[in-house]
């Protein structure tokens, strides 16, 4: 039973981190800001520590795995998780939905997928 509580807490944290990760994505619209010959260039990471580079890469891989888990559950589960994350961000019960799946049920459905991806 204790393992299940720990996994639920970890799943909550991963889902919240995924919410913020998804929220930070901005689609590029219109013309790019770089000349065509410079499009593939990237800024140097010479001043970043190795720990920062590795941490960023691990976080990116984890969030892609959570993204796969979110894509694998039903739309009702995604709706319940999204509603809960928006409410947590607002620190109030602002968002409501008459959906058939509650947040705890959605977490229970996504946890086996997270275990499959070795996130829990």
pLDDT per residue of the chain (120 residues) written in tens, 0 to 9: 445 668 889 999 999 999 999 888 766 666 666 666 666 666 777 788 888 888 988 998 999 999 999 999 999 999 999 999 999 988 888 777 677 899 999 999 999 999 999 998
pLDDT at position 117:
92
27 belongs to a structural domain: no
23 belongs to a structural domain: no
- Count up the domains in the chain and report the number: 1
Question: In 10 A of CB 105, how many CB atoms?
Answer: 14
Q: Which residues of 13-36 are buried (b: 16+ CB within 10 A; e: fewer)?
A: ebbeebbebeeeeeeeeeeeeeee
89 belongs to a structural domain: yes
Tally the C-alpha atoms within 13 A of residue 89's C-alpha that lie toward its C-beta. Answer: 14
| Structural domain for 103, as ranges | 49-120
Classify 73 in phi/psi space as left (phi over 0), alpha (psi -120 to 50) or beta.
beta
pLDDT at position 23:
86
78 belongs to a structural domain: yes
pLDDT at position 35:
64
How many residues does this entry show for the chain? 120
Distance between CA 36 and CA 20 in Å, rounded?
Answer: 31
Q: Which strand (E) or helix (H) includes residue 49?
A: none
């Amino acid at each position: 039973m204790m393992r299940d509580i720990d996994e639920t807490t970890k799943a909550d944290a991963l889902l919240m981190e995924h919410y913020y990760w998804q929220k930070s994505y901005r689609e590029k619209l219109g013309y790019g800001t770089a000349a065509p010959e410079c499009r593939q260039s990237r800024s140097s990471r010479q001043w970043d520590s190795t720990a920062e580079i590795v941490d960023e890469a691990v976080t990116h891989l984890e969030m892609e795995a959570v993204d796969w888990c979110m894509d694998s559950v039903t739309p009702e589960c995604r709706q319940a998780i999204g509603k809960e994350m928006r409410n947590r961000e607002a620190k109030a019960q602002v968002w409501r939905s008459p959906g058939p799946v509650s947040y705890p049920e959605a977490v229970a459905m996504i946890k086996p997928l997270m275990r499959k991806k070795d996130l829990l």
